[in-house]
Amino acid sequence: MTDVDSNLDPGETAKAPEGLVFRNVIVHANGTSLLNSVCGAALPGHLLAVMGPSGSGKTSLLNTLSGRLSIDSGEVTLNGIPVDRRIKRKICYVLQNDIFFSNLTLKETLSFTAILRLPEEMPQEDKLDKMMTLAKELGLQRCMDTTMGDTFCPGLSGGEKKRANIACELITDPDVILLDEPTSGLDYGTAFSLIQTLKTYTEHHQKTVVTTIHQPSSQIFFQFDTLLLMCAGHSVYYGNTRDVVDYFASIELPMTSHYNPADFILEKLKSGPEIQEKIIKASYEKRKVLKNTDMLTHDNSLEEIHKDFSAVMGEERDLDQGKWKWREIPGKVLNKLKRKPKPSDTVEEDTGSIHMSLLDLENTTFSRRKWPTKFITQYKQLTLRTFRQSKIRIMNKFKLIETVFLTVLLSLIWFQLPRIEETLRDRMGVLFYISMHWGFTPLFDAVISFPMEKLVINKERAAGWYRLSAYYLAKITTEITLIIVQPIFFLTIVYWSVGLSGPGPFFATMGTIFVHSFVGQTMGLFLGILCMDMRRGISIATVVIMFIMLLGGFYTRNMPVWISWIKYFSFLHYTFHALLYLEFSGGSPIQCAAETGTTSSNFPSCFEGNNTRIPAQDLLQFYRIDLSYWGYFMPLFVFISLFLLLGYVQLRFFQKSK
């Protein structure tokens, strides 16, 4: 029997501790030591603040606790169970930056999150009820119809956005909530109110909350129950927040009066290598002294136990050498570590039933599934969201003005082109222009769309909200739907104003332009994914467009044979030739050029025979349109499949979501 076992009361069984416990965590990345033997614990109903100077390892610790950074040695457990892939889902991580789609309202953002992140089995009304209750609890009910906004368009305030960020994570009812500097960028009043809301929520729902914090005011500082101080990757203090000043005094670093304790601590931690070394050394000394005392067996106050925790957990080697193990802590001590009393007996209120139903679901299918919702739900929701977000980019009033302007301009420039040999060049020009415009506009739109969404998608993918395939498919369907509206208007007017072939070829031209725009869009998406940076994407897209345009068949009709194969890489070549095919093989015939002293027809059937009209076959032959319409149309589908596949592979395997 171990020393600790002998302290167990009859009938009391040793249990694993509740909450998030981390012991002797060592983490390296790229040859740098990020965390050195870091210890601490976050208990249900308590707010744990992680403080330290910039670069001390606060974010690294949160990344480790959330499972985004792997540990080299040590242990992280939740309710006694090592944090693995499954347990990771019970931990939510509120990132420092509030990353949202700016065009959506708060209500749309939260509804989308609730529907996607809550289990499929939960009725949609319950999901939305839960979302509304949470919004109310976080004080967001007044701004539900405000857009999220960004630097360019105003929307939610900094504090509201932060609350929204927290709400998106709390919606799944996680056991542990990790927050990276939730008060950064907020004024004192907003920061204080946010921490208070967080504290109430933590106590009310008995959540385990760990938050990093940078230079809090003394009022904010004392809202935290427990404090973990970091210095150069070491945990130099873990214990009750109120005791930290005494602790510093005990290591001969007394605080002068009228000082904010948080400022005092940070000042000390930043005041040079000597003091830092002293603080780090003292923390290890303290652990050594405390390890031999029987601190877990006497009737300590919770605060004392917190202090003892830090000492005990710092001595993994001793634990491993067999004195006693964490899971063998006597039940009577554990009871002290358990829940704080709830502030009221009616805390569950109307969330209770939803909370319960969620727990029931947790224990059934939900916990066994990789994704909270089915593919079809994800696809539907993502399509709706992408539609709302993208429609402002693709269908804004400037785009509409541009389309109307070009429609009028083209209609006037080429108005009712006579079907005569002299205007063949213009006829080709208008068809080339149409192909170019409706290929390159979606290409450019798509190039910038992925880099714009990158941050949101990476955040959501890292937290496992949905399948990448659902997002990718939703993105493509939405954008192509939005993109084809404008060519319908443009073509319907320009085609008849110019006087192109006729009704049959009109519909075929429309179909060809749709598919052509789709090629442009998929190519743009691929380039956007490849670059993931708007400026680089646009530069590369410009070069690619020049290449495609040059080889499209309008400028380069007599290339040297040895290089002429290069034109097959230009999707514009196929569309342009398909449109020429439709134009020349259908509609009323083209009149031969009038014979004058200086000019004559280029077509033998005109100048050798007595034809006054150019046979369609001669026109196709003259412009080297060797394939049928379908022969030019089908390669466009090959381009679409290729770009879709390459884009997906790039996103899936080469763009990390962390």
Ligand X SMILES: Nc1ncnc2c1ncn2[C@@H]1O[C@H](COP(=O)(O)OP(=O)(O)OP(=O)(O)O)[C@@H](O)[C@H]1O
Residues that bind ligand X (CB under 6 A): 29-30, 32, 34, 52, 54-60, 214
Tell me whether residue 29 or residue 594 sits nearer to ligand X (CB atom): 29
Task: Look up residue 560 and give its amino acid.
Answer: P
Q: Are 410 and 498 in contact (CB under 8 A)?
A: yes
* Minimal distance, residue 185 CB to ligand X, in Å: 13
Task: Look up residue 605 and give its amino acid.
Answer: S
* Minimal distance, residue 40 CB to ligand X, in Å: 15
Cα–Cα distances in Å, from 197 out to 156, 224, 308? 18, 12, 29
Tell me whether residue 60 or residue 441 sits nearer to ligand X (CB atom): 60
Task: Look up residue 275 and give its amino acid.
Answer: I
Phi-psi region of 502 (alpha: psi -120 to 50; beta: other; left: phi over 0): left
Tell me whether residue 215 or residue 602 sits nearer to ligand X (CB atom): 215
State the DSSP string of 545-561.
Answer: HHHHHHTSSSS-SS--G
Tell me whether residue 92 or residue 95 sits nearer to ligand X (CB atom): 95
Tally of CA atoms within 13 A in the half-sphere of 448 that contains its CB: 12
Residue 227: which residues within 8 A CB-CB, separation 6 or more? 48, 49, 51, 237, 238, 239, 240, 241, 244
- Euclidean distance between CA atoms 308 and 286, whole angstroms: 10
Tell me whether residue 51 or residue 164 sits nearer to ligand X (CB atom): 51
* Minimal distance, residue 658 CB to ligand X, in Å: 10
* Minimal distance, residue 87 CB to ligand X, in Å: 22
* Minimal distance, residue 183 CB to ligand X, in Å: 12
Task: Look up residue 147 and give its amino acid.
Answer: T
* Minimal distance, residue 55 CB to ligand X, in Å: 4
- Euclidean distance between CA atoms 636 and 10, whole angstroms: 78
Q: Are 494 and 579 in contact (CB under 8 A)?
A: no
* Minimal distance, residue 313 CB to ligand X, in Å: 20
Tell me whether residue 13 or residue 30 sits nearer to ligand X (CB atom): 30
Cα–Cα distances in Å, from 359 out to 119, 310, 466? 11, 32, 21
Tell me whether residue 60 or residue 208 sits nearer to ligand X (CB atom): 60
Among residues 538, 519, 531, the alpha carbon closest in space to that of 650 is found at: 531
Cα–Cα distances in Å, from 290 out to 43, 249, 423, 483? 21, 18, 96, 69
Q: Are 421 and 603 in contact (CB under 8 A)?
A: yes
- Euclidean distance between CA atoms 553 and 570, whole angstroms: 9
* Minimal distance, residue 214 CB to ligand X, in Å: 6
DSSP β-bridge partners for residue 91 = 176
Q: Are 522 and 595 in contact (CB under 8 A)?
A: no
Handedness of CA 643, 371, 351, 191 (dihedral sign): negative
Tell me whether residue 70 or residue 617 sits nearer to ligand X (CB atom): 70
Tell me whether residue 173 or residue 180 sits nearer to ligand X (CB atom): 180
Tell me whether residue 185 or residue 635 sits nearer to ligand X (CB atom): 185
Tell me whether residue 158 or residue 615 sits nearer to ligand X (CB atom): 158
* Minimal distance, residue 315 CB to ligand X, in Å: 24
Among residues 195, 178, 200, the alpha carbon closest in space to that of 78 is found at: 178
* Minimal distance, residue 121 CB to ligand X, in Å: 38
* Minimal distance, residue 358 CB to ligand X, in Å: 32
